[in-house]
Amino acid sequence: MTEPIYRADVLVCAGTSCESSGSRSVRAALDEELAKAGLTDEVRVVETGCRGFCSMGPVMIIYPEGVFYCQVKVSDVPEIVEETLLKGRVVQRLVFTETESQMAVPYYEDIPFYQKQLRVTLRNCGVIDPTNIDEYIARGGYEALGKALSEMTPEQVIEEVKASGLRGRGGAGFLVGLKWEFTAKAPGSPKYVVCNADEGDPGAFMDRSLIEGDPHTLLEGMAICGYAVGAHDGYVYCRAEYPLAIKHLKIAIEQAEAYGLLGDNIFGTDFSFHMHIKEGAGAFVCGEETALIASIEGRRGEPRPRPPFPAVSGLWAKPTNLNNVKSYANVPQIILRGAPWFASIGAQRSPGTAIFALTGKVRHTGLIEVPMGITLREIIYDIGGGVENGKKFKAVQTGGPLGGCLPEEQLDLRVDFDSLRQAGAVMGSGGMIVVDEDTCMVEFTKYFLTFATAESCGKCVPCRMGGRRMLELLTKITDGRGEMKDIDEIETIAAAMASGSLCSLGQLTPGPVLSTLRYFRDEFIAHVQEHRCPSKQCAALVQYYVDPVACKGCGICARNCPTDAIAGGRRMIHIIDQEKCVKCGTCLEVCPFDSILKVSGDTVAVPSELIPIGTFSQ
C-alpha cells in the first residue's frame, strides 16, 4: 500500500449546527462512496469546525477548487463523488443560489454572506481539522508562543498586547493588555490564567464554535498570557452543554503536551504551563467573573463585590487573569503579526473584528466575523441577506439578554464597543437577533427579562426583586391591564437595578427594557392607553373575527376550533364567540378563503345571529 497523495480535500463542517443537521451521516456516506469509486488515496475528507453559514448546513467545501455545497444530504453524496470529485464538475443544484437574482454561486469566496466578512479570530475555523495539531502548525500555529518565549520578555508581550488596543471580547471591552499588566504586577504567587467559555446567552454560539473549530488558538493565547503574567496554570471554564467543544479541547491539550508545546519546559525554556478544564453546570451567572471563579473553586456560583478584582485576588485568592475565549484567540496573531497590524483593522478605539451569532428573522443566519466599525445595515442586509419572507425590519437586539434593541433609524450605526453603548445597546458576548414587524416589542422584552430573572442567583436584592417586579409590570401591560404609571415604575426599578446590583447580571438586566422604552415607547403606550398591540401578538389584546362578507360558510374553521367557539352551518356566515375564543389562531391558519380577521384595538361588525352567506349588510 503506497502512501496516499491527496489532490483534493473535502471539508465537511462538523460543528454543532451542521452536526445537528446531519453532517455526520454525510461524512460516513462520503467515506463509503469514495471507497467505492477508488478515490480514498487521492481525496481526503476532513471534519472541520464551523464555517458560519449555519442556515445552509450541512455545508461542504471541496478544495483546491473551493466549491461550496449547501444543505448536503446523504442522498447527494454519490453525485458529489461521481461528478465533482471524479470528473471535476460542479453539481449545480447544491451550490448557493442568490435569492434575488437566482444566480448560482459555486465558489466559497464569491458568496455574498462571506464577502463583507473578515476572518481574523476565526481564521482557522472551518479550514483545519481541529483534532489534528499538525494542521494548526501548518497554519503557523504555536509560532507566536515560540516567538514570545524565545524572543520576548513578559513585559514586551504585555506591551505588544497593550499597543494593539485589543479590548476584552466578553462584552465590557476592557483593554486586555492593561488587565494582563495588573495581574503581572499584582503581588502573590502562584498566579492563574482563566478563560471564560461559559457562553450563556440564548442564541450565542461564537465561543463554542471557536473552541470546536480551532481549540489550539485558545490554548496558545492562554499560554502566551501565562508567560506574560507569570502563571503556570490555565483553566478553561466551559459549560458542560458543550460536549464537542470540551472533547476537542481535551484532544488539543493532549496533542500540544505530546509535542511539548504545553506542559513543562515549553520550547526548551524554563516556562511551564499546564491546562485544566472545568466544566460548568450552565448557570448564566457563572459567566460573571467572580461567580465563575467561585464555581471553579467548588463553591456556589455567586458573584461577590469588587474590588478586589480578580487581577489582585482571583482564583484561590491569587492574582488571576480572566478573559473571554475570543480575547485570548486574538493574541497569537497579535504577537506574530505585530500590534500595528491588529490596530489597523476595524475602528480606531475598537480595533480588530467582532464576531456575531446572527439569528432571528434574517435570511441567512450563522456565525459571522466582521471588522469593527461596519454598520448594522451591512451586517443585516449584505451579510444576512435582509429580513426573510419580505417582512419589514423592526429591530435588532445586540448583546444577548442583557443587551438592547435598536430600531431602523439606528441601522447606520457603526458597530463597536462605544457607539453601541451610546445607542443604548451593548456589544456583550455578540448575540445579534433580528426581529420583523410581526414581533411585539413589549413581548420581546419580556422574553429577555424572563431569562435574566430566572438566571438571577438571588444573592443581591436589586437583581432578585427588581427583575421580578419589572416582569410583573410588563406582564400587566401585555395582558392589557397596564397603566401609565407602570411605565414610570419600570424606569424607576431599572435605575435602581443598574446602580444597586452586585454584578453586571443585575446591572444590565434592565437593558432590553430601557432601550425598548427609548425607541419603541409608543408601542408600550398603545398597549396601555389603547389596549392595542400594534404587532397583534399579545393574546389578551387581540381578537379574531370571521369576515362576514368574505366567509363562504364552508365550516372548516368551526371544525378545527379547539374550543368550539365558532358557530355556523352550511353556507351560513360563521361567528366567533369572543368569550369562548382562546386566540390560538387555528381558524386563521385553516381558512381557505382568508376570511378570518385578526385585529387589535379595532372591532369588526358581525351579524348578531346566524344568517346565510351573502346576506350581511352593516
Partner 1 sequence: MPQVKSLDELRKLREQVKEEISTRIETGTTIIVGMGTCGIAAGARDTMHAILQELDKRQISAHVRTVGCIGMCAREPLVDIEQAGKPRVTYGNVTPDMVPRLIEEHLKNGHVIEEWVVGRKTTDEIGL
Q: Would you count residue 154 as binding partner 1 (CB under 8 A)? A: no
Output helix, strand, coil percentages for the chain, rounded to the nearest 5: 45, 15, 40
In Å, the largest CA–CA distance within the chain is: 94
Provide, rounded to whole angstroms, the least separation between the CB of residue 210 and partner 1. 19
Cα(233)–Cα(215) distance, rounded to whole angstroms? 17
Look-up: residue for cell 505530546?
258
Q: What are phi and psi of 294, to 5 degrees?
A: -60, -40
Provide, rounded to whole angstroms, the least separation between the CB of residue 261 and partner 1. 6
Binding residue (CB under 8 A) for partner 1 from 113, 142, 242, 273: 142
- Using the contact rule CB under 8 A, the part of the chain among 130-138, 236-244, 403-411, 503-511 near partner 1 is 130-138
Q: Would you count residue 107 as binding partner 1 (CB under 8 A)? A: no
If the CB atoms of residues 190 and 268 are measured against partner 1, the closer one turns out to be 268
Q: Would you count residue 140 as binding partner 1 (CB under 8 A)? A: yes
Amino acid residing at 489:
E
- Using the contact rule CB under 8 A, the part of the chain among 135-143, 192-200, 229-237, 528-536 near partner 1 is 135-143
Q: Which of residues 275-314 bind partner 1 (CB under 8 A)?
A: none
Q: Would you count residue 11 as binding partner 1 (CB under 8 A)? A: yes
- Using the contact rule CB under 8 A, the part of the chain among 133-141, 174-182, 489-497, 542-550 near partner 1 is 133-141
Provide, rounded to whole angstroms, the least separation between the CB of residue 589 and partner 1. 47
Provide, rounded to whole angstroms, the least separation between the CB of residue 154 and partner 1. 17
Cα(241)–Cα(245) distance, rounded to whole angstroms? 9
If the CB atoms of residues 259 and 593 are measured against partner 1, the closer one turns out to be 259
If the CB atoms of residues 139 and 469 are measured against partner 1, the closer one turns out to be 139
Task: Write each residue from 246 to 275 as x if it is in contact with partner 1 (CB under 8 A), else as -, in one continuous string.
Answer: ------------xxxx-----xx-------
Which among 311, 418, 409 has a CA at the least distance from the CA of 354? 418
If the CB atoms of residues 108 and 448 are measured against partner 1, the closer one turns out to be 108
Cα(492)–Cα(496) distance, rounded to whole angstroms? 6
CA distances from 188 to 85, 182, 406 (A): 59, 12, 45
If the CB atoms of residues 78 and 607 are measured against partner 1, the closer one turns out to be 78
Provide, rounded to whole angstroms, the least separation between the CB of residue 200 and partner 1. 34
Binding residue (CB under 8 A) for partner 1 from 120, 128, 238, 291: 128
Strand 393-398, strand 404-407: pairing: antiparallel
CA distances from 532 to 75, 272, 487, 536 (A): 50, 65, 16, 8
- Strand-pairing partners, residue 354, are 370
Provide, rounded to whole angstroms, the least separation between the CB of residue 340 and partner 1. 22
Which among 387, 406, 386 has a CA at the least distance from the CA of 396? 406
If the CB atoms of residues 261 and 449 are measured against partner 1, the closer one turns out to be 261
Confirm if 478 and 527 have CB atoms less than 8 A apart: yes
Confirm if 271 and 265 have CB atoms less than 8 A apart: yes
Which among 169, 168, 197 has a CA at the least distance from the CA of 180? 168
Provide, rounded to whole angstroms, the least separation between the CB of residue 135 and partner 1. 5
Cα(14)–Cα(38) distance, rounded to whole angstroms? 24
Strand 43-48, strand 8-13: pairing: parallel
Q: Would you count residue 127 as binding partner 1 (CB under 8 A)? A: yes
Residues contacting 389, CB < 8 A, separation 6+ = 361, 436
If the CB atoms of residues 58 and 126 are measured against partner 1, the closer one turns out to be 126
Burial 551-570 (b: 16+ CB within 10 A, else e): bebbebbbeebeeebbbbee
Binding footprint of partner 1, residue count (CB under 8 A): 38
Q: Would you count residue 232 as binding partner 1 (CB under 8 A)? A: no
Q: Which of residues 15-44 bind partner 1 (CB under 8 A)?
A: 42, 44
Provide, rounded to whole angstroms, the least separation between the CB of residue 141 and partner 1. 8
- Using the contact rule CB under 8 A, the part of the chain among 143-151, 352-360, 429-437, 449-457 near partner 1 is 143-151
If the CB atoms of residues 20 and 269 are measured against partner 1, the closer one turns out to be 269
Cα(49)–Cα(21) distance, rounded to whole angstroms? 14
Task: Write each residue from 392 to 431 as x if it is in contact with partner 1 (CB under 8 A), else as -, in one continuous string.
Answer: ----------------------------------------
Confirm if 493 and 449 have CB atoms less than 8 A apart: no
CA distances from 220 to 147, 330, 450 (A): 12, 10, 38
Strand 393-398, strand 431-436: pairing: antiparallel
Which among 474, 456, 479, 551 has a CA at the least distance from the CA of 514? 474
Provide, rounded to whole angstroms, the least separation between the CB of residue 251 and partner 1. 14
Q: Would you count residue 92 as binding partner 1 (CB under 8 A)? A: no
Q: Which of residues 525-564 bind partner 1 (CB under 8 A)?
A: none
Cα(485)–Cα(274) distance, rounded to whole angstroms? 57
Provide, rounded to whole angstroms, the least separation between the CB of residue 515 and partner 1. 42
Q: How many CB atoms lie within 10 A of CB 484?
A: 11
Q: Which of residues 60-89 bind partner 1 (CB under 8 A)?
A: 63-65, 85-89
Binding residue (CB under 8 A) for partner 1 from 24, 116, 139, 247: 139
Residues in the site for partner 1, rule: CB under 8 A?
Answer: 5-9, 11, 42, 44, 63-65, 85-89, 127-128, 132, 134-135, 137-140, 142-143, 146-147, 149-151, 258-261, 267-268
